[in-house]
Amino acid sequence: MTITIVDHELPFLSHDLYDVTFFNDEIETLVTHTPSMVGSWIANVEHINRRRLNRLVVGLDVEWRVGICSDVEKLWDGYGLEVANAVDLGCLAARQLGMRKLHRAGLKDLAREILEKDVEKPRSVTLSNWDQAWLSKAQVAYACVDAYLSYKIGRALMAGN
């Protein structure tokens, strides 16, 4: 698995843009701590996909400390960001594929089973400091790949509906 990352090195304190390449797919990646930037990104995605919003699948990744029970609740409570129709990919995969073992599977196992892609999740990045003001390139790539895998797995499973 090869992941490359290019930092656009924008001169802003609110956000940065990266191009992350994962298995020959280039993913434009926004990293921000500013809710209004997230809102602008969402509005742009909705505008681009306005003719197919009812079929739109979005991958989202949020990195928090251990102990956060529900990412969706945290996004609403902390940032006023509503996530509609959230789906647990492990449960969906287990149900659609008839494989109970996928019920509690993580993205790494789901990517292998559904997308036939082996994904590395280095512990040095997994356990790194995600609370720092600016993420390292390795952290950005990790979070980007997680969100992208969520999207690709969700899209593959929803196509089976």
The per-residue pLDDT for 64 is 61
Give residue 53's identity as a one-letter amino acid code: L
What is the C-alpha to C-alpha distance for residues 157 and 88, in angstroms, rounded to an integer? 11
Q: What is the pLDDT of residue 66?
A: 43
Q: CA-based angle 74:135:137, to the nearest 5?
A: 130
pLDDT of residue 18: 97
Please give the pLDDT value at position 161. Answer: 58
Round to whole Å and give the CA distance between 135 and 50.
32
Can you give the pLDDT at residue 109?
95
pLDDT of 68: 39
Can you give the pLDDT of all 161 residues of the chain as single tens digits?
Answer: 789 999 999 999 999 999 999 999 999 999 988 888 988 988 998 899 999 888 887 777 776 654 434 778 888 887 777 777 888 889 999 999 999 999 989 899 999 999 999 999 999 999 999 988 899 999 999 999 999 999 999 999 988 75
Q: Which of 59, 70, 41 is nearest to 144 (CA)?
A: 59
Tokens of 50: 């306005």
Q: Are 9 and 16 in contact, with CB atoms under 8 Å apart?
A: yes
CATH topology of domain 3-159: Nucleotidyltransferase; domain 5 (3.30.420)
Domain regions of the chain by residue span: 3-159
Angstrom distance (rounded) from CA 113 to CA 107: 10
Measured distance CA(103)–CA(88) in Å, rounded:
9
